[in-house]
Structure 1
Amino acid sequence: MGPLPRLEGRWQLTADDDREPLVAEYVRVGGVHVQAVMPPRARGGFWHVTGTPYGTRLIVGDVVGGGFAAGRLSSQILASWRALAAHEPTIRGVALRLDTLVAEWGEPERFAPAVLMTVGSEAVCCGHPPPLRYRDGGALPCPLPPGPPLGLMAMAGTWAEAGELALQDGEELVLLGHGLDPPERPGLLIEQVTRSRGDALGLHVRREPG
């Protein structure tokens, strides 16, 4: 399997063995290009990118616990995200409101590691591996303040904080769920998710120059 064509859409990518196919999506919003690769078992995985008055905003994460209940909660997170991202002035404010949603879901064992960002501006890391910044053939984790997963902030007594996350021309971001090793370059994300045989999803983010 090679990289996706640069066309918006959704594909099923069949592996070389008898495993279920991956689901891959490619979208473009406000000059930001996002490729998402999701294993078939990622029931609790979620992601979304949307244009807002505050810039292009993105969320990626997964509900811990698995099963159909995780899928229901991830759907509710995305529904709330769509409304909050368009009206909440700060990405930290969005994270705090989503934390309350997950905490009040009624299943204490459910929580959701996630990254939320206004692309090219700031991001909040909620118990999720930080984005990797790729430039000139190398990758470095973005230095974001660590915070608890969505749903656990009150229990931890620590609230998520936003950090600056500029994105310069020629730089690309890759966001990986727990258990995924970084690809050598962003274009190899599909192969990396395929090899992992896990349930973590990955995102590749790049912005148009100018």
Structure 2
Amino acid sequence: MTIRIVVAEDQSAVRAGLVLILGSAPDIEVVGEAADGERAVELARELRPDLVLMDVQMPRLDGVSATRQVVAEGLADVLVLTTFDLDEYVFGALRAGAAGFLLKNTDAKDLVEAVRTVARGEGLIAPAVTRRLIAEFAAPTRPAAAPPGALDALTPREREVLAALGAGLSNAEIAVRLEMAEATVKTHVSKVLGKLELRSRVQAAVLARELGL
């Protein structure tokens, strides 16, 4: 299966480099390029790609706001790629529904693999920011994102899947742990996200930690 991707980056030289790297992969096709956030949203609406690679700092509409629009409209998954690992960008992107967050110092091979990972429906966070992310969302003084009783809507099996997401497991790893088919795992993940009104498996993982799962 070919992964159709839109690259949103305001610096033309950087954008050209990303397009070259991704376009060289046999299973990735760059179908559109955007130099600002508004154009990224427009292209997502027009082309319905599988994934948008989104820079954070862009003119007209920043990457976090653009991510929020793309995800809210169900247009594509979003992988945020930025020079900055500031907490405001990391948390902002994930709260907006980004499926992953990478830094621009990621090497070419890892960038291609990150695109494939997100395209498979799995979340991905740059190792450099993972510890800060966990510390932020697992802090005992932080209120849970879900209201009391939110888990009541989940079946016992769905709670097990949510807990596995909180442990950072991929769909394949969840399938092994819970002894079920990977296709069944995907169905359970979709149901968990829908019932808890979450936009991505990354948000589900954060919530699982908040709720002590």
Q: TM-score, normalised by structure 1?
A: 0.25
- Which protein has greater RCO, CA pairs closer than 8 Å, 6+ apart? 1
* Bigger fraction of residues in strand: 1
